[in-house]
Amino acid sequence: MEFNNFRYVWLDGEKIPWEEAKVHVMTHAIHYGTSVIEGIRAYASHNNLYIFRLEDHVKRLLDSARVYSLNIKYSKEEIIKAIIDIIKYNQIKSSCYIRPIGFAGFNGIDLYINDNSLVHLAILLFRFEGYLNINGIKAAVSSWRRISDPSLPPLAKAGGNYLNSVLATQECKKNNYDEAIMLDSQGNVSEAPGENVFIIRNGRIFTPGLSSGILEGITRDTAINIAKDLGYEVIERSIPRTELYLAEEIFLTGTAAEITPVISIDNHKVGDGKVGRITSIIKDTYSKAVRGDIEKYRGWLTPVY
């Protein structure tokens, strides 16, 4: 994936050139994964730039930090303002990806991170197009199980959690699949390495609940709301692996992936092996919603200019 960043970074209240945004090799987050992150998209539309569900993303960032006692010294309102300010400072008018990251700084090798530990906050911006194939991907069930709450809280979007996702991604890519599907500790469907999972059977939509080790995805919540508004029944419950092979449609949701159809699982066709009708409708509605084309969902958008 090509990486194309914008020139300036927001770091601890300062706007600095990208190449000057550096940390020491003794940074705690480098050694132990003590960071929390968000992925946010801004869409160019109607002669403006709209950030999608900005407040919800920043709230989750701070909630994740609280789980790990990472004392980010900025309020939700201050972070929202900082995101808008750094976009304007970079004079961005095109769609972009926003990556806030809070991370433990130089704290020695002590594992005890607390409210007095040094914590930094950075906001990075870069250009971002498609992440997964919008015409459908081929997925495989990973041999790596998804982390579970008694060991490592999946509800916190922490940097260290993604080592679990790295292993699953490496496995699926080496086996020539586009994405992995991870099972939870009970052997039920959890999520993909960076996306939530939805299946459709008999016209009803099912997705794993929070007890299945998932991240409480904001795009997941968006898709649930859209599907319900369109008149579909959405049920959160445990999904055994076999239902992946019986599903008429499957799609993934995530900030990067948006709404991505899955057309095969473990080389089993999903439905007729093409993007399904319900998935297409939800995908199209989502695409319009994030760009301000549907009045009902404009409350999810924060205009930059």
Q: What is the pLDDT of residues 259-301, one digit of tens each?
A: 999 999 999 999 999 999 999 999 999 999 999 999 999 999 9
DSSP state of 256: T
59 with 49: CB under 8 angstroms? no
What pLDDT is attached to residue 134? 83
Residue 133 has a pLDDT of 83
Q: Report, at the CATH architecture level, how domain 137-289 is classified.
A: Alpha-Beta Barrel (3.20)
CA 219, CA 121: separation in Å to the nearest integer? 23
CA distances from 214 to 69, 116, 181 (A): 21, 30, 12
279, 282, 286, 288: CA torsion to nearest 10:
110
| Catalytic site includes residue 157 | yes
Which residue matches tokens 């609940």?
A: 209
**All structural domains of the chain with their residue ranges:** 4-127, 137-289
Yes or no: say if 158 and 215 are a contact pair by the CB < 8 Å rule: no
Question: Residue 109: its pLDDT value, please?
Answer: 94
Is the whole model's pTM more than 0.85, yes or no?
yes
- 133-177 pLDDT per residue, tens: 888 999 999 999 999 999 999 999 999 999 999 999 999 999 999
- 4-127, CATH topology level: D-amino Acid Aminotransferase; Chain A, domain 1 (3.30.470)
* pLDDT score of 131: 81
pLDDT confidence of residue 57: 98
The gap from C-alpha 72 to its chain's centroid, in whole angstroms, comes to 20
Q: What is the pLDDT of residue 1?
A: 55
- Residues with pLDDT less than 70, the chain: 1-2
Three-class SS of 20-74: HCCCCCCEHHHHHCCEEECCEEEEEECCEEEEECHHHHHHHHHHHHHHCCCCCCC
Going by C-alpha positions, the residue among 133, 154, 151 that lies closest to residue 196 is: 154
Q: Which one of the listed residues 157, 174, 274, 288 is annotated catalytic?
A: 157
**CB of 42 within 8 A of CB of 49?**
yes
